[in-house]
Each structure stands twice: as structure tokens, then as C-alpha cells.
């Protein structure tokens, strides 16, 4: 990324990519080899990891009775779903059947 010395706006590569051009004031300057190290993108190989069957959802667990299967363990998290001056709603997800339910503070 290069900024214009004249107006401070961000400059873009000109045609042929051998110079920088400012869209705001039209200032043009030549590019040197050190500019390429900041503007080129490298290819990074990524591996897709399937975690759909993973037991740990990254959420804390607690003792809570599932209304569907009567399991006594559930993951839980809090989420603000009402006005900011209202309390958060606690959601539970059963560790066995993945049934989801919520508990509101009244």
C-alpha cells in the first residue's frame, strides 16, 4: 500500500503496474522492487478439517435436564436478544440429542 506524498490519499497501481497513481489528485510515481514485497499475495495451502462430529462445542457444560431426552448435561451460552437494559437469555443445548431450549430471567 502506498500513500500520495501530495494529498495523502491511497494510491493504486497504474496501467502496466510500473507506477503508482493517486485517484484524488492524479499524482504519479514510479514503483520499485521493494513495493512488490508488500503488494503481492502468497499462496497458502489450507486444509479443510471436518469438526461436525466433534464432541466439544467449545461451550461450557452444566447440569440441566433436557426436556426431550431427560439427559442431565447441556452446553450453555448467554445471548442478548431483548433491549440492552433487559437481562440476557441463557440458551442450553443437550449434549446427547442436541435439543436447544432457553431459560429467561424473570
The answer to whether residue 85 is catalytic is yes
Q: Which residues sit in the known binding site for Zn(2+)? A: 4, 7, 22, 25, 66, 69, 94, 97
Q: Which residues sit in the known binding site? A: 4, 7, 22, 25, 66, 69, 94, 97
Q: Which of 28, 36, 86, 104 is catalytic?
A: 86
C-alpha cell at position 81: 436478544
Q: Which of 18, 33, 47, 85 is catalytic?
A: 85
Tell me the catalytic residues.
85-86
Amino acid at each position: 500500500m502506498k500513500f500520495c506524498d501530495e494529498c495523502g490519499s491511497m494510491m493504486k497501481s497504474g496501467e502496466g503496474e510500473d507506477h503508482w497513481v493517486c485517484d484524488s489528485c492524479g499524482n504519479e510515481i514510479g514503483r520499485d522492487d521493494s513495493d512488490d514485497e508488500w503488494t503481492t499475495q502468497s499462496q497458502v495451502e489450507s486444509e479443510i478439517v471436518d469438526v461436525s462430529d466433534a464432541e466439544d462445542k467449545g461451550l461450557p457444560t452444566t447440569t440441566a435436564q433436557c426436556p426431550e431426552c431427560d439427559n442431565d448435561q447441556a452446553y450453555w451460552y448467554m445471548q442478548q436478544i431483548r433491549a440492552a437494559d433487559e437481562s440476557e437469555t441463557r440458551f442450553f443445548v443437550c449434549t446427547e440429542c442436541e435439543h436447544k431450549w432457553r431459560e429467561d430471567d424473570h
